[in-house]
Amino acid sequence: MRDLIIVMVAMPVLILFWVATQHLARLFSLRHPEFGSHREEGGGCGNCGCSGSGKCKRENTH
């Protein structure tokens, strides 16, 4: 029973930590545009919306 309670507390805490980390990364990206656009995990190149499909139209331009 103790293990179940630990997991029930730990999982939401870990998820909230990950969401907070993503939010801070987006804020940092907005404050520092000189480093380029923020790239979401699995989101492709970050500039054209190719979604990591391997068919980037702007492959050689960025």
Distance (Å, whole) CA 45 – CA 39: 7
Distance (Å, whole) CA 8 – CA 47: 38
pLDDT at 51: 59
pLDDT tens per residue, range 6-55: 999 999 999 999 999 999 999 998 998 888 777 766 655 655 656 555 66
Q: Give me the DSSP letters along 30-42.
A: HH-GGG-----TT
Structure-token match 């919306």, residue found = 49
pLDDT at 56: 66
pLDDT at 62: 47
